[in-house]
Structure 1
């Protein structure tokens, strides 16, 4: 295995016969350019349930409101949802309807996966930890994508597993779930969205709630893909959430690992940084900028420029600036 020291040598490796199977693991950082906040950044999940909004969650019990005030992630905890589905649906209402309305566009990072598949046929899988559904918006075959934590873009019952048409679900959310962010919009009070199969008020986007098991697809595809992976690209993730972060260690010892992120991650998992490492390459920077530069090194910038109608404005401006140079 030859060491990679820059994006040019990475591009040459991707195009070489030594590289036949590429796996990508993505986190919230690849969607930031679309306008979807990182989990821990301002307006992310930790900021979404602001203290001043908690009183508006009148459907929650006092105990539930206290738990959410202490830790906003309780709003996506399975036990909480099964007790009372309203807090989750009220907090998630703008996100659910925004996905329906295609409020956010896939970024350069998402388009890289699509170009990689079309240009080389070496993309084995994208394991995405994101629930925004943007990986599906770049015309990748669905069997190339594993949504590790589920997706907002599909709906079903948490109790019995029965699927619900997403557009019908969104119509129910729009007319039955209170908008706690803009109280003048939508209904004055929330009403239950009932499962047509089991009758429980536990219909929600098909995301994995805290306390739930991951889809078996994650474990099945990881076991299938990783033994023959030549290149693992880790992008926009802190690598602190298991078992998704296990991918970096469940690949052959000679598999090249590339980290694309604003800061080093995964040292506790054995990823090495510095000039002496041969297996790991760190491409520091915003995901969109790094992936654009990699696409340029691969000779695919013209193809990327042809996707400007399906890119957020921030990504389009990056491409235009690159082409002017």
Structure 2
């Protein structure tokens, strides 16, 4: 029976061992923070910095967002008023179009894991930033965008797709910039669907209150029964059903949690010293995965030119040492 490692060296040994044949990854916002994209729940993240008074909304809708910032990404809010979502997401949408962010060390580790071992079964990413897809050596079918992607657009009502470049042009001209009022239009105007004429066009992200892609459920059923190692990285594990991966894997599956603080204890993750099922690799995702890359002997395969500045600096510092 596989036993959870007690350190990064042990994790590297497990990954390379013949008894570990299938590895899946569940990622959250923490794997993308080094790219410059803030996460949702940490200080400085979207929920923390949300300013409802600047958003085009009714007093009742603003009060709802003040009480619960997550309201801005719900179907209930978007169906009533598309502007809160679009105004909050404007910089993210246009930044994605302009390739503003780069895949981090964490993303590049997943790519190396596939190239070096061929054991990467699936990446289940809760992130909508599309950075996994910058890792071109990972086959597209191995990446499941659990909550959709911000790099494509369609109508939330009828499902009609809209060319992403044209959508971004409409965002620039129709949606006000609440973060930089001197840029863009002074007032937001609707972006209408070319088919149903409703103001429900948005990036293909999954709003709270809407169903996840069927691909998620299909791949979970397909992958989990034979999984040897589950790496959970940079996620608070508070969003279901993505967090169900943690308790749906077989008892024989080793679970590795890469995060700055313990998460998922209510899901059965065991952080006690006696745990033989779980390993807590505490730290920032880029720090932990760079240590793992070094332990695996893959450091020379990292190209700093492909990394965001903070990730490249971290690699260079370790190379110098």
Matched, 1:323 2:310: no
Output the CA distance in 1 between the equivalents of 2:231 and 2:106: 11
CA displacement, residues 289-311 of structure 1 (integer Å, 9 cap, x when unaligned): 1000101111110001x2x1221
Query: Residue 156 of structure 1 aligns to a residue in which SS?
Result: strand
Query: Residue 135 of structure 1 aligns to a residue in which SS?
Result: helix
Output the CA distance in 2 between the equivalents of 1:73 and 1:245: 18
Match for residue 247 of structure 2 among 229, 246, 249? 249
Equivalent residues of 2:129, 2:151 under 8 A apart: yes
Query: Residue 151 of structure 1 aligns to a residue in which SS?
Result: strand
What's the offset of the Cα at 1:190? 1.3
Output the CA distance in 2 between the equivalents of 1:55 and 1:250: 42
What's the offset of the Cα at 1:122? 0.7
What's the offset of the Cα at 1:48? 3.4
What's the offset of the Cα at 1:56? 3.1
Output the CA distance in 2 between the equivalents of 1:125 and 1:20: 12
Query: Residue 248 of structure 2 aligns to a residue in which SS?
Result: coil
Number of matched residues? Answer: 319
Residue 229 of structure 2: aligned partner: 231
TM-score where L is the length of structure 2: 0.96
Matched, 1:310 2:311: no
What's the offset of the Cα at 1:275? 2.2
Output the CA distance in 1 between the equivalents of 2:88 and 2:276: 45
Residue 5 of structure 1: aligned partner: 6
Output the CA distance in 1 between the equivalents of 2:222 and 2:314: 36
Equivalent residues of 1:33, 1:288 under 8 A apart: yes
CA displacement, residues 222-253 of structure 1 (integer Å, 9 cap, x when unaligned): 11100011100001111111111110111111
Query: Residue 279 of structure 2 aligns to a residue in which SS?
Result: strand
Match for residue 149 of structure 1 among 144, 147, 150? 147
Residue 35 of structure 2: aligned partner: 34
Equivalent residues of 1:107, 1:315 under 8 A apart: yes
Residue 131 of structure 1: aligned partner: 128
Query: Residue 24 of structure 1 aligns to a residue in which SS?
Result: strand
Output the CA distance in 2 between the equivalents of 1:55 and 1:294: 44
CA displacement, residues 52-99 of structure 1 (integer Å, 9 cap, x when unaligned): xx3333x42222122112222111110111111112111111111011
Output the CA distance in 1 between the equivalents of 2:238 and 2:60: 29
Closer/same/farther in 2, CA of residues 280 and 65 from structure 1, 3 Å limit: same
What's the offset of the Cα at 1:110? 0.7
Match for residue 300 of structure 1 among 291, 298, 301? 298
Residue 49 of structure 1: aligned partner: 50
What's the offset of the Cα at 1:46? 1.1
Output the CA distance in 2 between the equivalents of 1:282 and 1:276: 12
Q: Give runs of aligned pairs for residues 113-192 of structure 1, distance below 5 A.
A: 113-139=110-136, 140-192=138-190
TM-score where L is the length of structure 1: 0.95
Residue 18 of structure 1: aligned partner: 19
Output the CA distance in 1 between the equivalents of 2:17 and 2:190: 55
Match for residue 193 of structure 2 among 188, 192, 195? 195
For structure 1, the residue ranges without an aligned partner over 5 or more in a row are: none
Query: Residue 257 of structure 2 aligns to a residue in which SS?
Result: strand
Match for residue 263 of structure 2 among 255, 262, 265? 265
What's the offset of the Cα at 1:43? 2.7
Equivalent residues of 2:4, 2:255 under 8 A apart: no
Closer/same/farther in 2, CA of residues 207 and 18 from structure 1, 3 Å limit: same
Equivalent residues of 1:27, 1:129 under 8 A apart: yes
CA displacement, residues 102-124 of structure 1 (integer Å, 9 cap, x when unaligned): 11111100111111111111101
What's the offset of the Cα at 1:3? 3.5
For structure 2, the residue ranges without an aligned partner over 5 or more in a row are: none
Output the CA distance in 1 between the equivalents of 2:212 and 2:190: 26
